[in-house]
Amino acid sequence: MKNYRMKNIGYFLLLLFAVVGCNDDFVDTQPLDEFSQSDVWVDAALAEAFVLEIYNGLGQGGFDEQMMASLSDEALFTHPGRGINTITESRSGPAERGFINYTYNWGDLYGRIRAANIALENLEEPGFDDPDMVNQLRGEALFLRAYYYHNLLRMHGGVPIVDKVYTLDSEDLEIPRNTFEETVEFIVSDLDSAKPLLEGLNVDGRASMEAALALKARVLLYAASDLHDIPTASANSSDIAGYSNPEYLGYVSGNQQDRWRRAQAAAKEVVDLNRGYKMDLIEPISAEEGKENYMALSLGGGSVMADPAAATELLFARYFVAAKNESGQQIGLYNGPNGYHNWAGNAPTQNLVDHYELIDGNEFNWNNSEHANNPYDNRDPRFYATILYDGADWKPRTADVAGSDPFDQIQTGTYEVKSGTGETITHNGLDTRSSAIEDWNGTHTGYYVRKFTDPDPAIVDQNVRQQIPFPFLKYTEAVLNYVEASIELGEEDMAKEWLNKIRYRAGMPAITASGQDLMEQYRQERLVELVYEEHRFHDARRWMIAPQTLGQQVRIIDVEGFLKPGANIQIYRYDPSSYNYEYEVRDLSPGIENREWLDKMYFIAIPRDEMNRNDQLIQNPGY
């Protein structure tokens, strides 16, 4: 049988060669789904398609199952074995860096940078006659190169700058690591060059002049921060003080105040765009309005349940289009309660919850019995738009669960109920790790993420993709950048004016503090306002407060409900008139995660394979 088959294959090949010999055009046939490089740059549509593909490096935005929030004190990742503990426990190194989302991953970023370089080189003298399109595509390629470099910068410090296309024939394939300052200036130069090319471009999900201004403001804010002022950083970290090449980590000379002044000016350019949503208030609005405003900002015009006008804040975002097959993200499935058949992926920590003030602006205090007995009453309205907590109202349960919870409330505790015979028994909440619905996907912390999940009851998170955009750059961040630089420069009145515009919109009273107290309140405000938007991990490091925040053990809450005398509840619901509730805050079991901070984590290690390819990096590997 084998010989028979081989003979038939031989006859087929002879026939094929005969056909080819009769038709020389056969060998010149091009694939129908591919284009050669020479074809791309003589056709405006193909050139645009090439540049648009570079955006794919943005992935799901921040909506992957494993979110950056779980590298910080914002969240705990529920599922083991994903490499997150490698970072939170400070075990990261060049050979094993742990979980790094591919939007921050070394190889992925340099792949996109190479694509941007290809576009920029070919757009210098394109083969099509459309100057406006050429300028637009060049502006987008410059912006994207800058964006990808800024993600490298805030992970690693100074990195090798690649601004041309390398081939196998290139002689200078070993590229030295550039200094931190050189990397910053390269990014800023790209953004300054992109700005006039992008003016007037306003397409959701694509680069714009406004996005270029906002990214420049962010990069210069980072550049001015304590972590990157080497004298300041060295005074706070013996690891940085002992590093042999500090120019890779920050500025070894120059005036930090000058850098803050430059950051302030860049942020002011964005503030002057006047793109804020309801940021013209002169006093706090009601708590309910504050919650609605924050929901609208978080949903970014992607839900029928909130004001679409809040989308004005988005300067650069990852959008999802319902009309496109399989488009959309599943943040509700990834993070939602297991009692809704969701996965509880990035569970909010008690550490985060404790940052939310009371509605009157005072701090929440577990040593205050009134606070401790009613921990979810009268909190900052943004809390209710961000966190799903025990007793919170939520969407309808799925059909198979509705009978067990006709009230559609989050159940993360244990509660007494009465059996049919009148016996008192314990009911494990439907959203706990002892749930009768699913007992493997529940939160460890007692909380679930609400922010970014479409509250539309028609969207069943388990099955339906949603179209909520992820904000890479938005107006409120730029305002906060302006506030921070102004505080650092001693211009406190201006800082408080803009900080309080954000608080009034949320229904919170004005901040009146000054000095270090003002800075502490600003940092808390930035955490609460930008939570889950991939800022906290970077902010805690650049402020050099990571030992007290990222290195702090995750705290969780246990909730118990005890029936009051005479109460006869058979199907549980949150009901203070029938229950006495007790709340216990404690550290997470170290068997799940044992957080530790080592100063080497101020800079994520460059991959070992990259260092092995480059002698300069081998000699000066950095962190």
The yes-or-no verdict on residue 326 having pLDDT over 80 is: no
Residues 253 and 326 in one domain: no
Rounded to an integer, the average pLDDT of 251-266 is 98
Per-residue pLDDT of 111-125, as tens digits, reads 999 999 999 999 999
Q: Is 26 exposed, middle or buried (0-12, 13-18, 19+ CB in 10 A)?
A: exposed
pLDDT category of residue 566 using cuts at 50, 70 and 90: very high
Tell me which of 484 and 614 has the higher pLDDT: 484
Residue 328 pLDDT = 82
Q: Is residue 246 part of a domain?
A: yes
Q: Is residue 214 part of a domain?
A: yes
Residues 105 and 251 in one domain: yes
pLDDT category of residue 321 using cuts at 50, 70 and 90: confident
Rounded to an integer, the average pLDDT of 420-434 is 96
Q: Is residue 531 part of a domain?
A: no
Helical spans, DSSP H, in 123-237: 131-156, 180-198, 209-224, 230-236
Q: What are the backbone dihedrals phi and psi of residue 426, each rounded to the nearest 5 degrees, phi first? A: -100, 130
CATH of the domain at 185: 1.25.40.390
pLDDT category of residue 14 using cuts at 50, 70 and 90: very low
The yes-or-no verdict on residue 470 having pLDDT over 90 is: yes
Q: Helices 106-122 and 44-54 sit at what angle, rounded to 10 degrees? A: 160
Rounded to an integer, the average pLDDT of 416-427 is 96
User: Which two structure tokens, joined as six digits, stand for 623?
Assistant: 């962190």
Q: Is residue 491 part of a domain?
A: no
Q: Helices 475-488 and 209-224 sit at what angle, rounded to 10 degrees? A: 30
Residues 44 and 140 in one domain: yes
Residues 350 and 202 in one domain: no
Residue 6 pLDDT = 33
Residues 267 and 390 in one domain: no
Distance in angstroms (rounded) separating the CA atoms of residues 296 and 405: 28
Q: Is residue 119 part of a domain?
A: yes
The yes-or-no verdict on residue 193 having pLDDT over 90 is: yes
pLDDT category of residue 35 using cuts at 50, 70 and 90: low
Q: Is residue 623 part of a domain?
A: no
The yes-or-no verdict on residue 77 having pLDDT over 70 is: yes
Domain that holds residue 236: 37-63+98-273
> Which uninterrupted H or E stretch holds 387?
strand 387-388
Residue 452 pLDDT = 98
Identify which of 422, 460, 446, 478 has the alpha carbon closest to the alpha carbon of residue 584: 446
Residue 531 pLDDT = 98
Identify which of 75, 101, 91, 221 has the alpha carbon closest to the alpha carbon of residue 155: 101
The yes-or-no verdict on residue 8 having pLDDT over 50 is: no
Residues 443 and 567 in one domain: yes
Q: How many domains does the chain have?
A: 2
Residues 105, 111, 112, 117, Cα dihedral to 10°: 140
What percent of the chain shows pLDDT beyond 90? 86
Residues 183 and 241 in one domain: yes
Residue 172 pLDDT = 76
Q: Is 586 helix (H, G, I), strand (E, B) or coil?
A: strand
pLDDT category of residue 223 using cuts at 50, 70 and 90: very high
User: Which two structure tokens, joined as six digits, stand for 536?
Assistant: 């906290």
Q: Is residue 621 part of a domain?
A: no
Q: Is residue 414 part of a domain?
A: yes
The yes-or-no verdict on residue 153 having pLDDT over 90 is: yes
Residues 119 and 43 in one domain: yes
The yes-or-no verdict on residue 23 having pLDDT over 80 is: no
Rounded to an integer, the average pLDDT of 62-76 is 97
